[in-house]
Amino acid sequence: MARTPDHPELKDVRLARIFAALGDPARLSILAVLADRAEHQRDDFAVEVGPSTLSHHMKVLREAGLVHCRFEGTRCFVSLRADTLDRFSSVLDGVLLAVADG
């Protein structure tokens, strides 16, 4: 049976939690990769942290409602949550543009 990580319902995604999740440079680096709106494997993220710390950052972003994680076998694929981007587009479009520009 494939594992499915918990993702918050869109109605439960709060802007304060999104801003808290964005308050870490490593998580902003992850978002910079995801700014292309494609799905990425964890190896695509050039964050200078160990695997367990990267997992923690992914969990924070997922629990904030910013990313969607899906597993296929042992591989994890991560993408931005389109529904969250739509709901908070006036805020998140600017953040994504800023992190993509470096």
Q: What CATH number is associated with residue 34?
A: 1.10.10.10
Task: Supply the pLDDT for residue 39.
Answer: 95
Instruction: Give the domain extent around 67.
Output: 13-101
> pTM of the prediction?
0.89
pLDDT at residue 79 greater than cutoff 90 = yes
Task: Supply the pLDDT for residue 2.
Answer: 56
Pairing of strands 75-80, 67-72: antiparallel
Residue 6 belongs to a domain: no
Residue 7 belongs to a domain: no
The number of domains in the chain is: 1
d(CA 82, CA 3): 21
User: For residue 8, what are its two tokens?
Assistant: 């918050």
The mean pLDDT of 33-44, rounded to a whole number, is 91
